[in-house]
Structure 1
Amino acid sequence: MTYTICRHLCEESPRLGAMTLHPIAESVPRARRWFRKFIAPYEPACSIDDCVLMISELVTNAVVHSRSDEPWVVRVEWFREDGSLRVEVHNPGLPDAVRLRRPDADDAHGRGLLLVDSVADSWHAGPSRFGGTVVCFRMADAWPS
Structure 2
Amino acid sequence: MTDRRDDEAEPERLGRLVLPPDRESVPRARRWFRKFTAHEALACSMDDCLLLISELVTNAIVYGEAEGLWRVRVEWYRVGTSLRVEVHNPGFPARVRLRRPGAGEAHGRGLLIVDQLADEWWSGPSAHGGTVVAFVMHKAFAEQRQAGPGI
Q: TM-score range by the shorter chain?
A: over 0.9
Shift of 1:66: 1.0
Distance 1:42 1:16 in 2: 9
Distance 1:79 1:61 in 2: 20
Aligned to 1:4: 3
SS of the counterpart of 1:3? coil
Aligned to 2:54: 56
Judging changes above 3 Å, is the alpha-carbon distance between structure 1 residues 45 and 7 closer, same or farther for their aligned structure 2 residues?
A: closer
Amino acid at match of 1:102: R
Judging changes above 3 Å, is the alpha-carbon distance between structure 1 residues 48 and 30 closer, same or farther for their aligned structure 2 residues?
A: same
Amino acid at match of 2:22: I
C-alpha distance after superposition, 1:113-134 (max 9, x if no partner): 0000000000000000000000
Q: Which has the greater radius of gyration?
A: 2
C-alpha distance after superposition, 1:39-96 (max 9, x if no partner): 1111110111100000000000011111100211000000000110000000000000
Amino acid at match of 2:45: S
1:124 counterpart = 2:122: yes
Q: TM-score, normalised by structure 1?
A: 0.93
1:65 counterpart = 2:50: no
Q: CA RMSD in A?
A: 1.7
Aligned to 1:136: 134
Distance 1:110 1:125 in 2: 16
The answer on whether the counterparts of 1:57 and 1:112 sit within 8 Å (CA) in structure 2 is yes
Amino acid at match of 1:48: M
Shift of 1:12: 2.3
Residue identity over aligned pairs, in percent, reads 59
Amino acid at match of 2:119: D
In structure 1, list runs of 5 or more residues that go unmatched. none
| Number of equivalent positions | 143
Distance 1:70 1:12 in 2: 34
Amino acid at match of 2:3: T
